[in-house]
Amino acid sequence: MAKKKKSKPPVRGKPSRLQLQPALSYVVLLAAIGVFIYFCFLFDLTQDDAFISFRYAENFLNGEGLVYNSGERVEGYTNFLWVILLVLSKGLFGLSYLFSSRLMGVAAGCVIFVLLFYLIKYHFRSNLLFYFTAVSLLMLSNKSLPYWSIASLETAAFSCMILAALLAEYRRPALTPALLVIATLLRPEGVIVFAVVFLHRLIREREIPWRCLGVYVVPLLPFAVFKITYYGSLFPNPYYAKSGVGLEYIITGLEYLWHFLSTVGVYGIIFVVPLLGIKKLWGRLSLLYLFLFAYVAYIVWVGGDVLKVYRFFVPIMPVLYLMFMASVFEMLVRDGGANKKVRQLAFVVVLLFAAGSYLLSRGHINAYWYAERNLISKMDFVSSKMKESIPGNFSLAVSTIGKTGYNLIGHRVIDMLGLTDSYIARNPEHIAGMESSWKERRFNNEYLLQQKPDLILFSTGYKPSAPAERALMLHSEFRRCYATVGFRAGNSVKVAFRRVNEIDMSRDTVHSAIDFVDELHHGYNRALKSEFVDAERHFRESRRLLDEDWYLLSLNIGQALAGQNKIDSAMAYFNEAIELKPYCWEARYKLAYILQLTGDSTAARSHYKILGEQHPWMFGSN
């Protein structure tokens, strides 16, 4: 009987590149998420607008309802589900709004990378490691996703649900409309993505996808009924305050688009490359192309975004970077196929683009990160000091309501821009010749003055910046009835305007030209740079154009003269400012300081005594 040969054990060689690719892909996914989280906490930012949602949530938990001001049913938010999640996080788990909003935002950002991983795996499985590494690099080179994920707004969560819906449309189409319901409850723009999906199915299936329509519309009907019955409108109030239809908004939207293209998009390359690859990729990626076209058109149509750092583009960035990478790859592939040399060349293109995107956008991102942190710090300080120093249940009008309004829960806070005030949003005034970089151009200062706010706070202190602030200075009753009140912050002073006279709108007149406010604005800019000669010239021109003795112009001219060491002339203007407005603490303090230096301590003590009586929180009670 022949002996049976022993079988040799299989030879265990090194794993092939294809065998290693899945494991390495997951390593890259975890690394990308880790770097993303690190970037989030480097920013350590809460956007001022997030505090609007916090105030709505807090008022709801306090039994006031889903309102900004007690008794005023105005939908001043555009993120219903986000507000509800904040309510639940504090009401059920006792988590602070700041912690829970940041946690949800960063978590949503992490999920975006996971969804992007599986979207790439669905379309480009054989090159998963290469594609995902390249797209992750692009996502991280532009730091707008980390910026908005940590900023306590719903941007990352909304972007996450949009990407989840697009992935579901390829892998689990039955889930798509349900995911878009969630997206729409997070932000109204979810309806745009649903329209894209609906149109794509209609073209593909050549019949109306009724089931998809029903699954999307039916759950949203109760929400629509709630909005109409509770707030009296299907559209949120910020839609009326920020957006509009017309050439002016389209031009602003195109400017917003161009800024994105010229920085993050490296002078438009981000869109040009996918357009060049559309012929090869349309059959496979038509849904993603339709999504990009529709969403960009929407951004332009509504005039872009009020908030900077590319917020409106965050929902399309994962898809845009995927399309960019796919197009680069397809354009480089020839008859020989996707060999190693093609991948290397494509990766070099990605590295160059990522470097360009980072270098062109970092200045913008860092500047607005710094400005937003400073704004919140200032508003936090001023509103806290108001609460400590000014007795009673005072009302406040302000052009940046976020942190200020949250600190003053229980006080009536009037948004000068109309975000949380339906009358201002729907009944705007128009001032011919007004120029401003602000997108929020709506205001109604006649209505505002009729509300007789106890305090008015400008975003930049003395200087009128927003259109609402500039236009307010045209009203004679504002000039007659309000004087600045100060709060010490170290060596500097933050100011607001306090009502010192009773407002009588029957005697109010509106100055016919905005020129005097423009000159005042220029004067403040020069004074901040210690260019006192130019500042004096602008302040004097402002006074000439106003053709009225207004204490603030007398004060400003006096301060510009003091900056030039023209003490006697400065004192004359300080005295004039006090005669016009006895509450003018700046002129009185400057005058007291000069009198003390010149040896007239009796007159100086007299002024200090009045300062202590009028502003005890700044100068003491004696």
252-262: pLDDT as tens digits? 999 999 999 99
Residues 497/485, Cβ–Cβ less than 8 Å: yes
As a whole number, mean pLDDT of residues 311-334 equals 92
pLDDT of 512 reads 79
For the domain 394-619, what is the CATH code? 1.25.40.10
pLDDT of 334 reads 62
E strand or H helix that includes residue 339: none
As a whole number, mean pLDDT of residues 430-457 equals 82
Query: Among 211-215, 338-342, 393-397, which is the least confidently predicted range?
Result: 338-342
Please, which pLDDT band fits residue 14 given cuts at 50, 70 and 90? low
Task: Find the Cα–Cα–Cα–Cα dihedral 499, 500, 503, 507, rounded to 10°.
Answer: -120
pLDDT of 17 reads 52
Provide the percentage of residues in the chain whose pLDDT is more than 70. 94
Please, which pLDDT band fits residue 439 given cuts at 50, 70 and 90? low
Pull the structure tokens for residue 167: 């992935």
pLDDT of 23 reads 84
Instruction: Outline where 62-175 has alpha helix (H).
Output: 80-93, 97-123, 128-141, 144-149, 155-171
pLDDT of 266 reads 97
Nearest to 317 by CA among 263, 363, 367: 263
pLDDT of 420 reads 95
pTM (2 d.p.): 0.92
| SS3 assignment, position 495 | strand
Helix axes 269-276 and 317-332, enclosed angle (nearest 10): 50
Q: CA-to-CA distance for 104 and 152, rounded, in angstroms?
A: 8
- Contact partners, residue 55, CB within 8 Å, separation at least 6: 68, 405, 406, 409
pLDDT of 337 reads 60
Residues 159/112, Cβ–Cβ less than 8 Å: yes
pLDDT of 578 reads 95
Helix axes 80-93 and 176-186, enclosed angle (nearest 10): 80
pLDDT of 557 reads 97
Query: Among 92-101, 154-163, 236-245, 313-322, which is the least confidently predicted range?
Result: 236-245
pLDDT of 122 reads 95
For residue 338, pLDDT over 80 is answered with: no
For residue 99, pLDDT over 60 is answered with: yes
- Contact partners, residue 362, CB within 8 Å, separation at least 6: 143
Please, which pLDDT band fits residue 306 given cuts at 50, 70 and 90? confident
State which of 9-18, 360-369, 485-494 shows the largest mean pLDDT.
360-369
As a whole number, mean pLDDT of residues 606-613 equals 92
Q: CA-to-CA distance for 48 and 376, rounded, in angstroms?
A: 6
Sheet holding 492-499, edge to edge: 413-415, 396-398, 455-457, 492-499, 482-489
pLDDT of 448 reads 97
Give residue for tokens 């969560």: 157
The chain-wide mean pLDDT, for the chain, equals 92
Please, which pLDDT band fits residue 479 given cuts at 50, 70 and 90? very high
pLDDT of 1 reads 45
- Contact partners, residue 363, CB within 8 Å, separation at least 6: none
Q: CA-to-CA distance for 565 and 570, rounded, in angstroms?
A: 8
For residue 293, pLDDT over 50 is answered with: yes
Residues 545/513, Cβ–Cβ less than 8 Å: yes
For residue 3, pLDDT over 60 is answered with: no
pLDDT of 489 reads 80
Domain range list for the chain: 20-369, 394-619
pLDDT of 506 reads 95
